[in-house]
Amino acid sequence: MPDVNPHATLPFKREGGMDLILLDRYAELAAALRKTPENADAIMRSFGLETEEQRGKIHKLWRLRFQANPDLQRRFEKLVEDKLATEAGDR
């Protein structure tokens, strides 16, 4: 049996961008992509999205969530705007 961290939230390693199921983390990805779209591949890899399949799955998940909950989409857009504004203010 593999070693499992008893303090971990999940009993397995989150791979393939699994932390992107969190709204704040997905907003970080979106802000990074909007800021430097020419670096999209490197940005996605840095967020754990190594393959087109992984990227497609996470984007589809969020499209479905946003369609089902417009308030969630508004919160997401606000988070992205705030992250971009914060980065611009850090300069």
Q: Which helix (H) or strand (E) holds 77?
A: helix 70-89
pLDDT of residue 6: 47
Query: Is pLDDT above 70 for 4?
Result: no
Q: What is the pLDDT of residues 13-28, one digit of tens each?
A: 455 566 778 999 999 9
Q: What is the pLDDT of residues 37-69, one digit of tens each?
A: 999 999 999 999 999 999 999 999 999 999 999
Query: Is pLDDT above 90 for 91?
Result: no
How far is it, in rounded angstroms, from Cα 26 to Cα 21?
Answer: 7
